[in-house]
Amino acid sequence: MQVQDIDFRMFARSAGTALAFKKGEIIFQRGDAADAIWIVLSGTVEVEYGNQMIDVVGVNYAIGILSLVDNEKRSATARALEACELIRLDHAQFRFMFEEMPNFGWYAMRQLASRLRSIHAVL
């Protein structure tokens, strides 16, 4: 089993808080303080930089990692494209997942690499 094949939703659910978002609802906005990462349990989320859509993500995808890692403000806006449910992991919960589950670190790095490639493809 490769890291990208591991479904972290169950682990995230046990460590974080599940929240529902309606279609069009903002999950976080560019310029917001970094307070958590989000893992998509169901539905799809659009990530935009400025006024440009840079990615659409779905189930088992994490968003908001960069800002939590470097403690900078959000560089993008995330919006629910449809009704969806996400797990919110605050800094302590994220750190717990990272330290207690070695494969979660690889998962997070893959998510960051994927986002970087998406940005490069659009910009």
Segments forming the whole domain that contains residue 20: 3-122
What is the pTM (predicted TM-score) of this model?
0.83
Angle of CA points 107, 109, 113, to nearest 5°: 115
Assign residue 44 the CATH number of its domain.
Answer: 2.60.120.10
* Alpha-carbon span 94 to 55, nearest angstrom: 22
Q: Per residue in 3-57, pLDDT tens?
A: 456 777 777 777 789 999 999 999 999 999 999 999 999 999 999 988 889 889 9
* Alpha-carbon span 37 to 90, nearest angstrom: 7
Quote the number of domains for the chain. 1
